[in-house]
Amino acid sequence: MGITKRSVESAYLDPEKLELLKALAAKTRIPRAVLMREAVDDLLLKHGVLNPRDAASKAVIRRRPTTTTTKRRG
């Protein structure tokens, strides 16, 4: 897999949305930057300016959140 060139962009987010984004990143263990790139892909797909194959080829490999299991006593 080759290195992809990326540009740095900044965005202003409402504090509440930023906290929700941070919580989602923690829960899913997906970095905020990856979530934001996925959101941009979704927006471009919605408006028909991105080919679905292009978005699919750069799909995020999602990791399952870690969960703690406990044994039930019966």
pTM score > 0.75 for this model?
no
Q: pLDDT tens digits for 7-33?
A: 999 999 999 999 999 999 999 999 999
pLDDT at 53: 85
Q: pLDDT tens digits for 31-68?
A: 999 999 999 999 999 999 998 888 776 655 555 555 55
**In the chain, domain spans:** 31-63
Q: By C-alpha distance, which of 34, 22, 20 is closest to 63? A: 34
Q: Look up residue 63 and give its two tokens.
A: 């990791």
Are the CB atoms for 5 and 19 separated by under 8 Å?
no
